Amino acid sequence: MATIYHLATLMLFCFIQLSFSELVQEQPLVLKYHNGPLLKGKITVNLIWYGKFTPIQRSIIVDFINSLSSDKATTVPSTSSWWKITEKYKGGSSTLAVGKQILLENYPLGKFLKNPHLPALASKFNGVDTINVILTSKDVAVEGFCMRCGTHGSTRVGRGPVRGTYIWVGNSETQCPGQCAWPFHQPIYGPQTPPLVAPNGDVGVDGMIINLATLLGNTVTNPFNNGYFQGPANAPLEAVSACTGMFGSGSYPGYPGKVLVEKSTGASYNANGINGRKYLLPAMWDPQRST
pLDDT at 3: 56
pLDDT value at position 177?
A: 95
Contact 168, 140 (CB under 8 A): no
What's the pLDDT score for residue 2? 52
Residue 69: per-residue pLDDT? 95
Q: Give the pLDDT of residue 75.
A: 87
CA dist., res. 282 & res. 166, Å (int): 20
pLDDT of residue 159: 66
Which residues in the chain show pLDDT less than 70? 1-28, 73, 158-162
Residue 283's pLDDT is what? Answer: 97
Q: So what's the pLDDT on residue 16?
A: 42
pLDDT at 193: 82
- State the burial class of residue 197 (Cβ atoms within 10 Å of its Cβ: 0-12, 13-18, 19+): middle
The pLDDT of residue 52 is 97
The predicted pLDDT at position 6 comes to 45
Query: Residue 237's pLDDT is what?
Result: 95
Q: What is the pLDDT of residue 243?
A: 82
Going by C-alpha positions, the residue among 155, 166, 102, 157 that lies closest to residue 132 is: 166
Distance from the first to the final alpha carbon of the chain: 25
